[in-house]
Structure 1
Amino acid sequence: MKVIGTLLIIISVARIAMGSAMVFMLYLCNNAFKAVTSYTPSPGEFRELETENDKLKKLLGEKDLEIATLRDLVKKVNPAYRTKWK
């Protein structure tokens, strides 16, 4: 709530000073770039992230395959029902 109140005060001051919210937008942009920091994982963490990523890719591939198989089954009319016996 305190942040929202502060932002409202900044917006009103910017509108009064410049007649628009352009000053406020510049203020937000400058603060957004100051807050950005980069994170570099250690080699051990990187290996863990790679293995987790591989597992997630495999799960996603399996899920996509299951969905494609189910869609094919839904398209067929009575896929397990044989009408012609040899």
Structure 2
Amino acid sequence: MKIEQIIKENQGTIVDVRSYAEFMGGNVVGSINIALNEIPERIEELKNLKAPLILCCASGNRSGQAQHFLSQHGIECYNGGSWLDVNYYKSQATK
């Protein structure tokens, strides 16, 4: 299944891995903020979120790092790239 479809159908959880300050400057409605550097210590919390996780950041670099790390821990997740792209797909969501 494509990431766009997962987002549009509200099938998982959107996790923004930018810093809190960046997140507060704009974010995807309904997303949660767990900064990249906090992911290792919050792994149990991430395991309990509705899967799959759609990870996003400013450009896709940090979310790519998070996706690699979480995949190694058995968490189903995808790199959604820029939060702006994820936000665009979310705006097309089927309610």
The alignment's TM-score, normalised by the length of structure 1, stands at 0.27
- Structure showing the higher strand proportion among its residues: 2
- Structure showing the higher helix proportion among its residues: 1
The alignment's TM-score, normalised by the length of structure 2, stands at 0.24
Answer with 1 or 2: which has the greater Rg.
1
